Copies of this chain bind each other. A is one copy, B any other.
Amino acid sequence: MNSANRVVTMAHGSGGRAMQQLIEEMFLTAFSNSFLNQREDQARMSLSELALQGDRLAFTTDSYVIDPIFFPGGDIGKLAVCGTANDLAVSGATPAFMSCGFILEEGFSLDTLQILVDSMANTARQYGIQIVTGDTKVVPRGAADKIFINTSGIGVIPQAVEWSAKNIAVGDKIIVSGTLGDHGAAILNLREKLDMQLDVSSDCAVLSDLIAPLRPLAGVHALRDATRGGVNAILHEYAAASGLGIEIDESSLPVKSAVRGICELLGLEPLNFANEGKLVIVTSADSAPHVLERLHQHPLGVDAACIGEVVSTAKILLRGSYGITRLLDLPYAEPLPRIC
């Protein structure tokens, strides 16, 4: 990694000295922790220490292929930590350990890689997440587009937290933790070179601190974070898992005016737009005000709103401003590829 050769070469993915150097000088330095530093083929954690935090392990994985790799509000490295952390946190777990698998294109800038690695390390550290095991592959120029990152995560779910789409009941309220579609709008604006002077950034964030105060609340039935496919995809998942339907009040949807503008211009629906830091919570009607109150107390939850409720008819309905309801289908595809 001398300054004369600051790009990823095939040698960085081989089992030889070049890879060892990259691991030592970049990954071990940035991610340094007592598990990773053992340099075994696997991280090893005490089960009895994990059991102090709860009774169930949560385990999840996501690969990140977003294009472009830098965007307002984040980058692929930050996203790779936030996305996987959130898939753990929505179970009630505290994200604790993460793996990191890089697929790098030959010729990718090592300086850029360093920026992304530092971004991962900073995001992880900020939320007490340790990156404890990893892997690096390099493919020849043209066999991958710049960089793909996989992160898998482990956390522990506290006893008595039992959030699951199976708990959803008729009359439950649907709450979103903030404005819809910020991530999708930011990426669309950037990538499609719309050159709109939009004051909108990705909402890419780790939500564990927003979620933690909800754990003691009875009546919280299910939590998921809305990413690809938007809030609409989560509503359809909830409906499929519960066998029930959901009615959404269109006028209650929190949408930034810039995002609403881009949606109207392009004929898109904010409910279908991607987010990277928004919860869709199903809670009993009694608990809904308490959930909203706790969300509003956190900077990431100030725009939280109740957007609808669970109904017995197994359909997703959108009630418009004139009181007319229409069926909200799940589109066959997202409007935007490589959004995460």
Contact = CB atoms under 8 A, between A and B. Distances in A.
B50 A47 contact: yes
A144 B103 CA distance: 10
Interface string A147-183: 0101011101100000011000000000000000000
Contact of A16 (B65, B87, B138, B332): B332
Query: In the complex this chain forms, how many copies of it are found?
Result: 2
Contacts of A13: 228, 337-338
Interface in A73-96: 87-88, 90-91, 93
A59 B338 contact: no
Most chain B CB inside 10 Å of its own CB: which residue of A45, A50, A65, A134? A65
Given A42-B91, A45-B56, A225-B41, A15 B233 contact: yes
A47 B40 contact: no
A164 to B, nearest CB: 7
Interface residues of A, number: 88
A333 interface: yes
A225 B148 CA distance: 26
A80 to B, nearest CB: 11
Contact of A51 (B16, B51, B90): B51
Contact of A135 (B42, B63, B154): B63
Nearest to A230: B15
A60 interface: yes
A46 B42 contact: no
A27 interface: no
A140 B339 CA distance: 12
B59 A14 contact: no
Nearest to A64: B137
Interface string A1-26: 00000000111011111111000000
A225 B13 CA distance: 17
A287 interface: no
A333 to B, nearest CB: 3
Contacts of A57: 44-47, 50, 57, 154
Contact of A39 (B40, B50, B241): B241
A11 B332 CA distance: 7
A334 interface: yes
Most chain B CB inside 10 Å of its own CB: which residue of A16, A17, A41? A41
A142 interface: yes
A63 B152 CA distance: 11
A54 interface: yes
Given A42-B88, A229-B16, A337-B10, A56 B63 contact: no
A225 B61 CA distance: 24
Given A39-B241, A44-B56, A45-B56, 9 more contacts: A14-B331, A15-B229, A41-B225, A47-B50, A63-B101, A103-B148, A137-B340, A138-B337, A140-B338
9 contacts: A20-B236, A40-B165, A42-B90, A45-B56, A45-B57, A46-B57, A60-B99, A65-B143, A139-B337
Interface of A: 9-11, 13-20, 38-48, 50-51, 54-65, 67, 87-88, 90-91, 93, 97, 99-103, 132-135, 137-140, 142-145, 148, 150, 152-154, 156-157, 164-165, 224-225, 227-230, 233, 236-237, 241, 274, 330-334, 337-338, 340
